[in-house]
Structure 1
């Protein structure tokens, strides 16, 4: 939601999650600090995960919206095995697009020509 805090006010994540729900997407989230606040906002309309890898199991896309330090260098080999469809939307441009594409991910970044 927002890095290094449990404050979700005016977080881009809120807008994105609401839109995904409007589109009928099944949504699973993980945030190191803001899970309790997210539950107040979304109740049981989304799934809550105990860690970032649990959040990705069986998914069709990974959407990174908050640049927590623990998200900066994930184990992409592990992620590739967890996901049904290896699609990454990097909302903070913290990942290396070429590396991910070489591994077999479809990569989308904000303002990046790939």
Structure 2
């Protein structure tokens, strides 16, 4: 994807530092958002509890989705940053249909790479080969 991410949109699932909280202190999502927007990317984020906290931090620098699947519409890829229970067993067919390119970057290692490959989704996880 390179340095210049202008005209690219990323769906971001999870803003909070950990599940069941709206606490974003030291959340990976902050670094992700800052790095991607600095390179010109657009972010559409969803989190079950931390949307209001994110609005205080980012304002209108990013977009906020009403639900996880709305965040995917016309996005180039999905980034998973918090391991909310509702993200553990998503509808992978809907993810594939909604994304421009079926790519998932998983910062929580929730999914099985082989399973996603059979579904036609390219999968990158942190710390796994």
Report the TM-score when normalising by structure 1. Answer: 0.96
* Structure 1 residue 75 corresponds to structure 2 residue 105: no
Residue 112 of structure 2 aligns with which residue? 96
Write the deviation string for residues 36-91 of structure 1: whole angstroms up to 9, x where unpaired. 00000100010000000000111111000100000000000111111111010011
Residue 26 of structure 1 aligns with which residue? 42
Q: State the SS of the aligned residue for 2:23.
A: coil
What is the total number of aligned residue pairs between the two structures?
Answer: 113
Aligned with residue 51 of structure 1, among 54, 64, 67: 67
Q: Return 33-42 or 104-113, whichever deviates more.
A: 104-113
Q: State the SS of the aligned residue for 2:124.
A: strand
User: Structure 1 stretches of 5 or more lacking a match?
Assistant: none
RMSD: 0.7
Distance between the aligned counterparts of 1:110 and 1:94, measured in 2?
10
Deviation at 1:102, TM superposition (A): 1.2
Residue 14 of structure 1 aligns with which residue? 30
Q: State the SS of the aligned residue for 1:100.
A: helix
Q: Which structure dedicates a bigger proportion of its chain to strand?
A: 2
Q: State the SS of the aligned residue for 2:42.
A: coil
| Greater length-normalized contact order (CA 8 Å, ≥ 6 residues apart) | 2
Deviation at 1:106, TM superposition (A): 1.0
Deviation at 1:98, TM superposition (A): 0.6
